[in-house]
Amino acid sequence: MKIPGTALDGFFDRARKLTETLAWLRLCAVAGQSLTVVIVVWVLHIEIAVMPLAVGISVLAAFAVFAFWRLRQPWPVPPIEAFGHIVVDIGVLTWLLYFSGGATNPFVSLLVMPIALAAAALPLFYVIAVALLASAGYLALVPWHVALPPLHTSDTGAFNLHVAGSVANFVVTAAVLAYFIARLARALRQREADVQRERERTLRDEGILAIATQAAGTAHELNTPLSTIRTLLTELRREYADDHTLTDDLALLAGQADRCRDILRELVAVGSRQLADRPQQLALTRFVRDCEDQFRLLRPEIELRVVIEADADTREIEAAPNLRHALVNLLNNAADASLGAGKPEIELGVTAGAEQVEFSVRDYGRGSTPGHGTAFQTSKSDGLGLGLALAHATAERLGGTLRAEALASGGWRQRLRVPLATTDNRTP
């Protein structure tokens, strides 16, 4: 079984690429071999074993059709299966060479091509097996083969067709190796780049996980002093009910304390929901309004304009708490950028497509830099450098993206795209 994210995953990926390459090479070989037989028999009038050659070409053509069918199936291609395809190719090629001169055939060096392809994609064990098999086929063709008639033209007798065959063989081998080896190498480079990106993502997520673990313990410890603060605030509001100025300040403090309590509850909800693997389904409009209310409570000094397209009213979203946190973090960062430019206003646009929803957060900052920092770093003097890293991690975990774009009129726009809820994932 294919195990994603492991070295075995790379072996399966390279084996599939090799199988695809072999399938296309097989089609080229069938066309080239058929054309060669036609030219030799009907143009050069050289007597060769046409029927055995036709059988070998037909078998190769049938196997090519099977290979393309196999590649359309969802099953992974293990290295041993790719090795099996190479074995078939070597066997058919040896059969064709046996009935066309054996080791004296100028195309006998084509037996080297499977070795080169295997070396570019398969583990060492299979490369050695392919090399031994191809060498055994070559050695067997030296004493055992059906000899060809003298390869020279009937009019001059001077031009040896063996030389022409050698030239054609060199051109074909060079072209095939240059194209298909380069194709395999490009696929391997792409695979290495994907592995590098995955490694960087893993390192970032490990840092976030370490902070999340610490945050969980801290949240548990904060519950007791927070309860004490809320109790004292209630008593102070009762005691100074006649002092309206102080009462307003105490009410604000009480609201912030309640918000802290809600955050702690959301931390518990995140853990419980992830352990139970139960996504929460919410109407998209309700989710946006919840985020709006949460942000207004955190940043009452910021004017937030929310624009929701009409199509979004009937859509649903998997409203994981980490998605809510990511969106509020983007709003909070945009608010800081706008405040830095003396404009306490931001915008949130919501656009629902066929499968994804886009949250567009626009700030009115100076525009020279997004102002949101990178993972575990921040451009703000009082920031922790986690907002953008958490938003990126959340988008990737949900199968979405997060992109920033500078605006000509000033400021930045963050585009957070995540999948909408599907009917298969509806919560009962």
Residue labelled with tokens 């060809």: 148
Q: What is the pLDDT of residue 383?
A: 41
Q: What is the pLDDT of residue 85?
A: 94
Higher pLDDT, 273 or 330: 330
State pLDDT tens for residues 225-272. Answer: 878 887 888 888 788 877 777 888 888 888 888 878 777 776 666 555
| Highest mean pLDDT of the ranges 158-162, 311-315, 380-384 | 311-315
What are the distances in angstroms from CA 1 to CA 8, 77, 275?
A: 9, 10, 25
Higher pLDDT, 161 or 75: 75
pLDDT at 100 over 60: yes
Which sequence spans correspond to the domains of the chain?
7-149, 202-275, 279-425
For residue 188, with 0-12 CB atoms within 10 Å meaning exposed, 13-18 middle and 19 or more buried, which class applies?
Answer: middle
pLDDT at 207 over 70: no
Higher pLDDT, 1 or 344: 344
Give the integer Cα–Cα distance in Å for 235 and 348.
Answer: 38
DSSP string, 295-350: HHHH-TTSEEEEEE-GGGGG-EEE--HHHHHHHHHHHHHHHHHHHHTT--EEEEEE
Mean pLDDT score of the chain, rounded to an integer?
77
The pLDDT-based confidence of 132 (bands split at 50, 70, 90) is: very high
Q: What is the pLDDT of residue 5?
A: 44
Average pLDDT, integer, range 357-366: 88
Angular region, 77: left φ>0, alpha ψ -120 to 50, beta rest: beta
Higher pLDDT, 7 or 306: 306
279-425 homologous superfamily: Histidine kinase-like ATPase, C-terminal domain (3.30.565.10)
